[in-house]
Chain A
Amino acid sequence: MNKILLLLIMVARRDLVLAMRRRADVLTTLIFFVMVVSLFPLGVGPETDMLRKMAPGVLWVSALLASMLSLGRLFSADYLDGTLEQMLLAPQSLSVLVLGKMAAHWMVSGLPLVLMTPVLGLQFDMPLKAVGVLMLSLLLGTPVLSMIGAIGAALTLGLRGGGVLLSLLVLPLCIPVLIFGTGAVGAVTDGLGYSSHLSLLGALLVLAAVFTPWVAAQALRISME
């Protein structure tokens, strides 16, 4: 058990170090997120009431798109330099290796978005409590996006036009996360209880954490054979 945890940390740390060596990639995702969110008021007009109402949806959809943007890089660098092949041959469990990569991907592409949310929420004049719930829902939801996305990234590994295809495959699967994530914020602005939405998000997170590493590992084996 301890060994698996150690392996997980090792893979995640390796990917984080690699990401820190190329900080520009991480920043591009974050800037993309901020930019897309800031475009919405320009597109629909500056009425505060409407913006406040739209904010959770806008932030969630932008987070979804931003996480798609960086998914292509999840396996492709390792695939190109042959590391992935070694990982497949390694005696350690491939699922754990994949889970480690998912965790690192979330820390690089999901966590910054969560931390950026309060600023953007204020731009949209969201009440403080709603911002809190939005952050909580993103905190629970963005790991699921990384995990489901990893399956798509593994399936489209090395294909022509893989990036667009990846979004086509992954976005429909992410819709439940989007629904519960925005539903939680919608409930809190309407003065209703939001815990059921967050519980469902948490359930999705647990479900994804159990199954997606294994499925993504199978997808990698299919793509690499």
Chain B
Amino acid sequence: MAINWFKYSAPTMFYPLAGKLIPWFAVSSAILFVAGLYLGFVVAPSDATQGEFYRIIYIHVPTSILSMFLYLVMAGYAALGLIFNTRLSAMMASAIAPTGALFSFIALWTGALWGKPMWGTWWVWDARLTSELILLFLYLGFISLHASIDDPRRADRAAALLAIVGSVNVPIIYFSVKWWNTLHQGSTIKFSGTSMQVTMQHAMFTMLAACWLYAAAVVLSRVRSIILERERHTKWIAELSEVQS
């Protein structure tokens, strides 16, 4: 049986699918948030060197991982949109950008809150912090370029090109810890085993999953709005029950 890979690349098909998926993502994200926060802030033991302060890690690490991951996803969708000329990919890219920007902002903010008790300063010009800040700038550049071009097709393509060029930056963030030997601690979770306590690890991964599901729910509902806005003159939109009522 041949699989139609492009079935859900049509906004007509994707709009109802996204509508069905959103509640699942939203509910499971809420459950995992509660579980992850409980595990992280109540069950997990305090750290040997950092005491209770380390607990912000359960927000800081998932958001910073997702801020980088979402940029890659965004650039991936942007590239798909450029290559296959699909409308939906570009819509997904522009739906992901605000969530990515939000996550990188939260990562910077919680990083500052963590840095104050641990390093004694809100901000240091460390390579990784700076790269995260640049990532935020890249998101903002993507959003503002998209917003300042009136023709949506040109906006999609121009912003897509910018996202792809900017994605060169994401590996630099990842490897910066190795390149510049500075204040920020190295990764705790490695493929070759980890130096983290098991409960802490569980809490961290639960929070990561919660953030990921949250991002999926928010992006899908945003892309639904974008579809409605862009395709408002089409017949299938006019026939939707939520539009008619």
Contacts and interface: CB of A to CB of B under 8 A. Distances in A.
Contact of A219 (B130, B144, B158, B169): B158
Contacts of B148: 156, 159-161, 165
Nearest to B139: A172
B177 to A, nearest CB: 15
Given A176-B172, A223-B154, A156 B161 contact: no
Contact of A215 (B140, B149, B165, B172): B165
29 contacts: A155-B145, A155-B158, A155-B162, A156-B145, A159-B148, A159-B149, A165-B145, A165-B148, A168-B137, A168-B140, A168-B141, A171-B137, A172-B137, A172-B141, A172-B169, A173-B165, A173-B166, A173-B169, A175-B130, A215-B161, A215-B165, A219-B158, A219-B161, A222-B154, A222-B157, A222-B161, A223-B154, A223-B158, A225-B154
A175 B134 contact: yes
Given A169-B145, A172-B137, A215-B161, 11 more contacts: A151-B165, A155-B145, A155-B161, A168-B140, A168-B144, A172-B138, A173-B169, A175-B134, A215-B165, A219-B158, A222-B154
Contacts, number: 47
Interface string B35-71: 0000000000000000000000000000000000000
Most buried by A among B137, B144, B165: B165
Interface string A208-225: 000000010011001101
B196 to A, nearest CB: 31
Contacts of B137: 168, 171-172
Nearest to B151: A225
Nearest 9 Cβ contacts at the A-B interface: A172-B137, A222-B157, A169-B141, A155-B158, A172-B134, A222-B158, A168-B141, A219-B161, A159-B148
Interface string A144-160: 00000001000110011
A215 B169 CA distance: 16
Main secondary structure of the interface of A (DSSP, over half): helix
Interface residues of B, number: 19
Interface in A152-197: 155-156, 159-161, 165, 168-169, 171-173, 175-176
B144 A165 contact: yes
B194 to A, nearest CB: 30
Interface of A: 151, 155-156, 159-161, 165, 168-169, 171-173, 175-176, 215, 218-219, 222-223, 225
Main secondary structure of the interface of B (DSSP, over half): helix
Contacts of A168: 137, 140-141, 144
A155 B78 CA distance: 15
Interface in B146-199: 148-149, 154, 157-158, 161-162, 165-166, 169, 172
Interface in B110-148: 130, 134, 137-138, 140-141, 144-145, 148
A1 B62 CA distance: 51
B141 A218 contact: no
Contacts of A223: 154, 158
B158 to A, nearest CB: 5
Contacts of B134: 172, 175
Contact of A218 (B149, B161, B166, B169): B161
A225 B149 CA distance: 13
Contacts of B141: 168-169, 172
